[in-house]
Every structure is written in C-alpha cells, then in structure tokens.
C-alpha cells in the first residue's frame, strides 16, 4: 500500500522536473552554459530515477495490470460532469517509462558534446545559425527546448485521459517546430533546398492537420462516452457496448471504429505514416540530438503509443474491425514504401529518417493485425536502436565536420558519398553503429530488433494475414540491405574526401550514450522471446514481456503457437539483405568518383526512389498552390473586396444620393437654411471632412438631433 502511494505521488512527479527545468533555464540560467546543461541533466536524471522506481515497484507487484496506479483532479467543470485530469500507470505505461526517460537523458547528455561545450565562442557565429567551430550560440535555449520536449513526452506517457495526452502531444508538436527550426536563420544558396525554418513549419502544419482530425475524434468520443479517461472507457462494458452499437457519421461503421480512425489520423501525422510522412525526412534539418529525440525517444513513439493505448477501442467487436484493417494496410504499405526510398538516399540522416517511417509502419501494421504485444515490443526495441543510430550519425557528421575545419573544404558533411573509411578514425562510433544497424536489420538471435520484428512476422503468419506477412518480409529484406549499404558507405574502405580522412572520434559525452544504448540494442530483446522458442524461451522466463503488458487490456487477446516457418523466413530475409548489401557495397567499397552501383541496377526506378516518389511536388501542386490561390484571389480579392465591400459602397452611395436629395429638399423646399441635420446625412458620402476642418461640434449636433428624434418617438409612443 505504501509502495502504491509512493508510486502515485512519483507518477505526478515524473514529468515535472524537465518542465520546471525548461522555465528555470529560460528565466534564470540562460546566460550560464554549464548551469543550463546541469539543470537539464539533473532534472532529467530525477525523472529517470522516479520512473525507474515506479517501474521497479510495478514489476515487483503481482498482477499489476489489475491494480494500476491512478490519481486525478477536477479540471474543467462542464455542466453536470467535470472533466478530470490525472495520471495513471498501467503495464503499457511501464514499458514507456523504461525507455523514454533513459533515451531522453542520454540525448541531453549527448547534446553537451554535440553543441561543442567547452570550446569558446567563435566570432563568426550568430544566433540562429549552426556554429562554425565554437560553442552553439544559443546553447542554453537548446537545453531548455529539449527539456520541454522530454517533459511533454512524459506528460503524454503518464496521462490517464485523452485530453491530457493531447496536451503533451501538441506541446511536443511545438517543440518539434522550435527544435527543427532551431537554426532558423540558416539559408541555403540552392533556393529549392528546404531551410530549417521551412522544415519546421512543414512539420508543424502536417502534424497539426492530423491533430485536428484527432481532436474531432476526441470530441466525438467525449460526446458518446461522457468521459475521456482511458480506463473508464475501456473497462466499462456498458460504454464499450454503446460505442460499438451507435452508428457513426459514416453509414455502417460503428462509432467506436469511426472514432478510432479519427484518432488514428493523429498517429498518421505524428508517426509520419503514408500519406502524411512528408514532414519527417525534412525534420533532419534540425540539430541531430533533435532528430534522435523526434525519431526515437519522443514524438514518433508517442504516435504509436497512442494507438496502442486506444487498441481496446479499435479492436472492439473482435478481430477484423474496419479500423484495424485500415491500420494494417496503412502500416504495411508505409513499411515497404519508406524502405524503398531509404535504399536510394545518400544523406546519412535521411536514410535513417525513412527507416524510421518504415519501422513505424511495422508497428502500425502489427497493431492492425491485432499483435498488441508485438507492437509495444517493437516500439521499445526500436527506440533503443534508433536513438543509437541517430546519435551515431550525429557523431559521424561531427567527425566529418571536424575534418572539414582542418581542410577548409566546402562539402555536404551528411552525404555518405563524401565519407568512407571512418571505421579506423572513429572506432567507438563505428562499433556501436554496427550494433544498432544490425539490430535494425534484425540480425538473428543476438539483437533486440530481431526478436521484436520476428514476433510481428510470426503473429502475422500464425493468424493468416498473408499479405501483411509478405509485405513486411520484403521490407525486412530491404531494411537489412540499406543498413548494410549505409554502414559500408560510411565506415568501410578508404576515405573518399580529405575531410573524411581527417575526421576524428567525438567527445565522451557523445560516445558514452552510444555505448549505453548499444547494450540495450542487444539485450532489450530477450525480455520478449516467445515462450516456446527452443532453449531460449524457457531460459528467459517464458516471455515475461507479454505476460506483463497484456495486463493493460480489459480482455485477453489470443497469443499464437510457436512455429519454425516464420522464424526461418525472417532469419533468411535479414541475413540475405545484409549479405547482398555487403556484396554490393562492402566487399569492394566505393572509391572516389565512383557511381552508386544501384543507379545502374534500378534504372529509372532509382530516380523515383531518390525523389521520394515525388510526393512533395505532388502536394505542392494539388494542395499548397490551390489553397493559396483560393485565399489570395477568390476569398480576399473577389469576395471580400469586390462582393462584400462593393455591395456596402453601393448602399453608401445610394444613401448619399438620398441624402443630397434631402438636403436639396431642405435647402430649397423648406427654408433655404443649411440645416445641421441635413449635413449629417451627407456623412455617408466621401465628402465627410468634419474632423479635418475641426468642426467636431457638427458631429455632436447629429447625435443630439438623433437623441431628440428618439425622444420624440418615445414621447409619441408613450402618449
């Protein structure tokens, strides 16, 4: 009991330190660099500590899923009910609490080195542009934003209702805007290259579009269910029955599923699923720790977490609900679609960006076929190895940039064709990157990525979702291939530029997080090995992950029998992809000036992949330009100026005509005297110059006469 109470209090405290740290840094320590990062690190460390105490307590509680932690306060009185805001921790939250704070902490630590702490200010540097060789000019602000980002993610993680979750969700959207556009002053010579500020707006707008659809879903859910608290909805048979039986706006679909789809739209934006994936690759314009934050620890994970959270609603009425089918389709398609693009990218971070989209597709597809546990499992392992890979790529870029400063070359430090041979120069980065890459590729039995990916494939296979199985298998093969391509192009062979030859290993603040994450990228998978897997299954405690996480659901969902066939398929896909990648790129690494062999093999397809299927161009033509045209020409010019104001001016002119007739009538008809009231009617015309001529009293006369008229009317009526 005491433990539960402590956990309850700690849950409220989990998101608090980073949020407080944001304000502390902004308000007090913005001029002291070391203070700023110490505050951020200390706060994040505190969150990490609180989280892990909660995790530890939960793991040592039997049947934790039946007695989750929950606590709330009234927030918005809405007539007869009160919308309450609170925190809750159930097994699914525990999963998040194990990796989110850890990843955030490591990212903040990494940022110390990344922002060149310890070096002096370079005189050439200005705020809003990347530093040349000195410390980041807006050092403190960077840590403040990262803290806010982490705090928002933790709010989302411990939220007990959709509204509070949405708070965290949107504040993260804001942080992504601020951080992607952190170097807001940066502009490029190439006008068509997207700038950080452009990418920031694009990210925010795309996700916001999705968020508003989600917000409609939230309103709809509140309308139908009368509450937004997860547990109150999912564990209440009556509400669930009502949701399932109410017809929705779309004929034939249950309200539960329609609401589920509206909310899923939020995930499509946040987790960059097709067709709203376009913002994520451009988000690479932000500093690399931000990319790690967005791609692993926080933003995209939040999207997947949210649909996993909403699974009971999406799944209501049993398997094959239309909502889940849509998700399976979107997820599987995205997984393959993004993997093909990743194959033809040369920017070291963009490869990873598309890989993230692809892996998120895996999770969405997994959820779509009902593989609840596998989706959560892959979410966790992916966070570890993707955070590792991103920070690794940041280390690589940093290394190359270091070389550039010595050679004074001007080249793109992110282009893999400018690298090569970095293994010798940056050994820690190299080995950790290989571990992360192999985990992503699903190298059998020894990497975490293998176990989680295998579980998704096995589930698809066992439940007969053939096309999902095949699509994901092909994606797995492509994933392994482009990972090996990336490792080879970056690290193997000889340096293809002077700068790459002069690169050197990054500071310990950057490499330590890599080492820690490599540990998890290998071992995190062993908590979720299928219980019937020969030897390992029993040895590792019969899949403790599944037993624990399943407790979050109101009803148990069926597991599946262990089978060898999908395992063999997934082993073959991973290994053959890696091997092919090695054959093409690793065996005889590219030399200076040599073309990517893929260009020849794929022919015109390569161009399609490299240009991301031309989606940016398409959206520009069918969405952006028409909206601009409507707002500038149709709405503003035609309707507002011509139609509405035009009508108004005609009325005014008409009044003026009547007015002049009245004046004429008074002047010639009544007593020749220019009456003040008659002048007043002429106000409606442009001839009005009362103020300029200083005849302020004219106006008062009119008001006075108006009052007299009103009084006269009154008097007549009252008589």
Give the interface with other proteins as residue ranges (CB under 8 A).
Answer: 74-80, 126-129, 163, 166-167, 169-171, 174, 177, 181, 184-187, 195, 197, 200-201, 204-205, 208-209, 212-213, 215-216, 219-220, 222-223, 249, 628, 630-632, 635-636, 639-640, 644-645, 648, 652, 683-684, 686, 688-689, 691-692, 696, 699, 703, 710, 713-714, 717-718
Nearest C-alpha neighbor of 405 from the set 132, 112, 122: 132
Q: Alpha carbon of 186 to those of 132, 183, 671: distances in Å?
A: 12, 6, 74
Name the minimum Å distance from CB 196 to other proteins: 8
Euclidean distance between CA atoms 560 and 562, whole angstroms: 6
Dihedral of alpha carbons 432, 435, 437, 439, sign = negative
* DSSP category for residue 291: H
The answer to whether residues 592 and 350 touch, using CB atoms and an 8 Å cutoff, is: no
The secondary structure of the chain in percent helix, strand, coil, rounded to multiples of 5, reads 70, 5, 25
Nearest C-alpha neighbor of 560 from the set 356, 692, 370, 299: 370
The answer to whether residues 435 and 522 touch, using CB atoms and an 8 Å cutoff, is: yes
Q: Which is nearer to other proteins, 129 or 393 (CB)?
A: 129
Name the minimum Å distance from CB 277 to other proteins: 18
Name the minimum Å distance from CB 321 to other proteins: 21
3-class state of residue 502 by DSSP: coil
Q: Which is nearer to other proteins, 253 or 652 (CB)?
A: 652
Name the minimum Å distance from CB 90 to other proteins: 23
Q: Which is nearer to other proteins, 52 or 220 (CB)?
A: 220
Q: Which is nearer to other proteins, 494 or 632 (CB)?
A: 632
Name the minimum Å distance from CB 162 to other proteins: 11
Q: Which is nearer to other proteins, 110 or 230 (CB)?
A: 230
Name the minimum Å distance from CB 197 to other proteins: 4
Euclidean distance between CA atoms 93 and 377, whole angstroms: 12
Name the minimum Å distance from CB 670 to other proteins: 24
Name the minimum Å distance from CB 291 to other proteins: 19
Q: Which is nearer to other proteins, 215 or 313 (CB)?
A: 215
Euclidean distance between CA atoms 559 and 373, whole angstroms: 9
Q: Which is nearer to other proteins, 178 or 473 (CB)?
A: 178
Q: Which is nearer to other proteins, 206 or 395 (CB)?
A: 206
* DSSP category for residue 347: B
Name the minimum Å distance from CB 650 to other proteins: 13
Name the minimum Å distance from CB 364 to other proteins: 23
Radius of gyration of the chain (CA): 31
Q: Which is nearer to other proteins, 119 or 641 (CB)?
A: 641
**283 half-sphere exposure, CB direction, 13 A CA radius:** 34
Q: Alpha carbon of 489 to those of 114, 321, 409, 447, 586: distances in Å?
A: 23, 44, 20, 22, 8
633: which residues sit within 8 A by CB, 6+ positions away? none
Spell out where 463-509 has E strands: none
Q: Which is nearer to other proteins, 196 or 403 (CB)?
A: 196
**DSSP secondary structure of 162-182:** HHHHHHHHHHHHHHHHHHHTT
Q: Alpha carbon of 521 to those of 113, 435, 448, 449: distances in Å?
A: 22, 7, 6, 7
């Amino acid at each position: 009991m005491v433990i539960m109470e402590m956990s309850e209090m700690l849950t409220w405290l989990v998101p608090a330190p980073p949020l407080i740290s944001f304000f502390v840094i902004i308000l007090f320590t913005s001029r002291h660099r070391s203070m700023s990062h110490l505050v951020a690190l200390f706060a994040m460390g505190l969150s990490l500590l609180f989280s892990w105490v909660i995790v530890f307590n939960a793991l040592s509680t039997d049947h934790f899923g039946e007695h989750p932690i929950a606590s709330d306060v009234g927030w918005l009185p809405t007539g007869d009910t009160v919308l309450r805001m609170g925190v809750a921790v159930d097994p699914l939250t525990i999963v998040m609490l194990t990796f989110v704070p850890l990843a955030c902490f490591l990212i903040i630590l990494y940022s110390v080195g990344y922002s060149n702490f310890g070096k002096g200010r370079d005189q050439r540097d200005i705020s809003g542009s990347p530093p040349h060789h000195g410390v980041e000019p807006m050092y403190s602000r960077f840590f403040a934003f990262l803290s806010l980002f982490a705090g928002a993610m933790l709010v989302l993680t411990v939220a007990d209702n959709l509204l509070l979750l949405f708070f965290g969700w949107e504040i993260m959207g804001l942080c992504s805007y601020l951080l992607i556009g952190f170097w807001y002053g940066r502009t490029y010579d190439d006008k068509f290259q997207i700038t950080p500020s452009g990418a920031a707006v694009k990210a925010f707008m795309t996700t916001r579009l999705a968020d508003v659809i989600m917000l409609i879903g939230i309103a709809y859910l509140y309308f139908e269910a009368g509450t937004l608290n997860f547990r109150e909805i999912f564990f209440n048979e009556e509400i669930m029955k009502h949701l399932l039986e109410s017809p929705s706006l779309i004929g034939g679909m249950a309200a539960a599923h329609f609401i589920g789809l509206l909310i899923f739209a939020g995930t499509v934006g946040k987790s960059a699923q097709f067709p709203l994936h376009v913002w994520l690759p451009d988000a690479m314009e932000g500093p690399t720790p931000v990319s790690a934050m967005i791609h692993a620890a926080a933003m995209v994970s939040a999207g997947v977490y949210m649909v996993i959270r909403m699974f009971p609603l999406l799944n209501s009425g049993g398997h094959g609900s239309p909502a889940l089918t849509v998700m399976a389709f979107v997820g599987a398609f995205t997984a393959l679609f993004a993997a093909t693009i990743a194959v033809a990218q040369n920017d070291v971070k963009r490869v990873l960006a598309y890989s993230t989209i692809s892996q998120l597709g895996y999770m969405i597809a997994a959820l779509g076929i009902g593989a609840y546990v596998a989706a959560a499992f892959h979410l966790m392992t992916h966070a570890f190895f993707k955070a590792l890979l991103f920070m690794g790529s940041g280390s690589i870029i940093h290394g190359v940039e270091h070389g550039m400063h010595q050679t004074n070359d001007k080249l793109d430090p992110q282009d893999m064709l400018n690298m090569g041979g970095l293994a010798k120069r940056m050994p820690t980065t190299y080995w950790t990157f290989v571990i992360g890459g192999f985990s992503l590729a699903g190298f059998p039995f020894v990497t975490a990525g293998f176990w989680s990916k295998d579980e998704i494939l096995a589930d698809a296979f066992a439940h007969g979702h053939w096309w999902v199985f095949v699509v994901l298998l092909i994606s797995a093969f492509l994933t392994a291939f482009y990972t090996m391509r990336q490792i080879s192009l970056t690290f193997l062979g000889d340096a293809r530029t002077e700068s790459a030859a002069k690169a050197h290993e990054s500071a310990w603040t950057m490499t330590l997080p890599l080492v820690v994450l490599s540990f998890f990228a290998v071992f995190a998978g062993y908590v979720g090995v299928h219980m019937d897997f020969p030897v390992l299954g029993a040895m590792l405690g019969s899949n403790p992950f599944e037993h624990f996480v399943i407790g979050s659901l109101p009803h148990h969902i069926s597991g599946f029998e262990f089978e060898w066939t999908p395992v063999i398929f997934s082993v073959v896909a991973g290994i053959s992809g890696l091997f092919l990648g090695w054959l093409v790129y690793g065996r005889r690494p590219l030399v200076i000036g040599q073309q990517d062999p893929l260009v020849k093999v794929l022919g015109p397809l390569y161009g399609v992949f490299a240009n991301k299927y031309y989606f940016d161009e398409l959206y520009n033509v069918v969405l952006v330009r028409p909206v601009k045209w409507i707002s500038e020409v149709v709405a503003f010019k035609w309707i507002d100026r011509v139609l509405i104001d035009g009508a108004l001016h005609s009325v005014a002119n008409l009044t003026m005509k009547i007015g002049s007739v009245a004046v004429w009538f008074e002047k010639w008809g009544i007593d020749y005297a220019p009456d003040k009231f008659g002048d007043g009617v002429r106000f409606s015309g442009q001839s009005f110059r009362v103020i300029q001529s200083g005849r302020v009293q004219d106006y008062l006369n009119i008001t006075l006469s108006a009052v007299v008229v009103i009084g006269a009317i009154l008097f007549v009526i009252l008589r």
